[in-house]
Amino acid sequence: EDRFLLQTQPIVPSQAAEAQPQIFELLIRLQNRDGEVIGPGVFVPLAERVGLMDKIDLWVLDRALRHLAELGDDSGIAFTINLSNITVQDNEALRLIEQQIKASGVDPGRLIFEVTETSEIASLHSARRFIQTLKAIGVRFALDDFGTGFSSISHLKHLPVDFVKLEGSLIADLEESARDKTMISSLVGMAHALDLQVIAEHVNSATSLGWLRDCGVDYVQGHFLGEPRPIEETVFKAPPAAKAKGSAAKKLPVASSSGS
């Protein structure tokens, strides 16, 4: 555990991308013995194979709740946290997560859990129960990688999420692909018709930001808006003025999954 690190990446309203961020995705990293920082794409598959992913998710939540408690509810800061499908289907993990949140004293509305699309009906039933249980205490949810496959619409039908996070490759290629623009417009329209807010990650240029804003995307995230940085250099460095807008975070969403 002493080798795990948390970085953050801001998620900001598309209509006010220059505003002080109040929503941050928590991104877990692993530091090896040589001090090299390793991304989740390397260690998460191994953790899943050996049955450690739920423990890692609980570690991230524990650290998130400690940071949020230190910042205080009046700070307006909220975190998005990626949960593995293994955790979302685990009843014991659900019990422990609910217990952790209640014991922390932190407003659950300052947590947004990102869940990745699951493919099997059995998984959807488990995910639905997981989401409903935590939404009942105020936690919010985002469906990550939305638009990756035929299952997306089915997931919106079965999973009571609050946000959808568009699949990153759609955003990364939109400046060169008219087809991607058409797909994004359609997905945004569908999400808004269902009263869901839309987050776009991998926003890496002013051109992409402007187009997504005009398209109606609600929140944006990406290197153009802020690189992943250690949590100590971001949320705890926010100027006092930014910590007075607690109400804003109540309405906000959002996470990348792997760290846009």
121-141 per-position pLDDT tens digit: 457 888 899 999 999 999 999
CATH class for the domain made up of 4-251: alpha beta
% of residues, the chain, pLDDT over 90 = 62
- Give yes or no for residue 105 having a pLDDT over 90: yes
- Give yes or no for residue 257 having a pLDDT over 60: no
pLDDT digits (tens, 9 = 90+) for 178-221: 999 999 999 999 999 999 999 999 999 999 999 999 999 999 99
pLDDT digits (tens, 9 = 90+) for 17-36: 888 899 999 999 998 887 78
Phi–psi pair at 163, nearest 5 degrees: -135, 155
Domain extents in the chain:
4-251
**Confidence band (pLDDT; 50, 70, 90) for 247?**
very low
Listed residue (85, 82, 93) closest to 123, CA to CA: 85
- Give yes or no for residue 260 having a pLDDT over 50: no
First-to-final CA distance of the chain: 23
pLDDT of res. 243: 39
Listed residue (138, 66, 61) closest to 107, CA to CA: 138
pLDDT of res. 122: 56
Strand extents, DSSP E, the chain: 4-13, 23-31, 37-38, 78-83, 111-116, 140-146, 163-166, 197-200, 219-220, 229-230
- Give yes or no for residue 255 having a pLDDT over 50: no
- Give yes or no for residue 150 having a pLDDT over 80: no
Burial pattern 192-226, b for ≥16 Cβ within 10 A else e, equals eeeebbbbbbbbbeeebbebbbebebbbbbbebbb
- Give yes or no for residue 67 having a pLDDT over 90: yes
240/49: higher pLDDT? 49
Question: What is the pLDDT averaged over residues 93-113?
Answer: 98
pLDDT of res. 151: 63
Cα-based torsion angle of the residue sequence 80, 156, 119, 187 in order, rounded to the nearest 10 degrees? -80
Residues 6+ apart with CB under 8 A from 128: 158, 159, 160
Listed residue (153, 152, 82) closest to 115, CA to CA: 82
pLDDT digits (tens, 9 = 90+) for 36-63: 888 888 888 888 889 899 999 999 999 9
pLDDT of res. 256: 36
Residues 6+ apart with CB under 8 A from 258: 27, 39, 40, 41
Report DSSP letters for 38-91, one per residue. Answer: E-HHHHHHHHHHTT-HHHHHHHHHHHHHHHHHHH-GGG--EEEEEE-HHHHT-H
Mean of all residue pLDDT scores within the chain: 86
Question: What is the pLDDT averaged over residues 144-168?
Answer: 84
Helices (H) and strands (E) in the chain, counts: 10, 10
100/234: higher pLDDT? 100
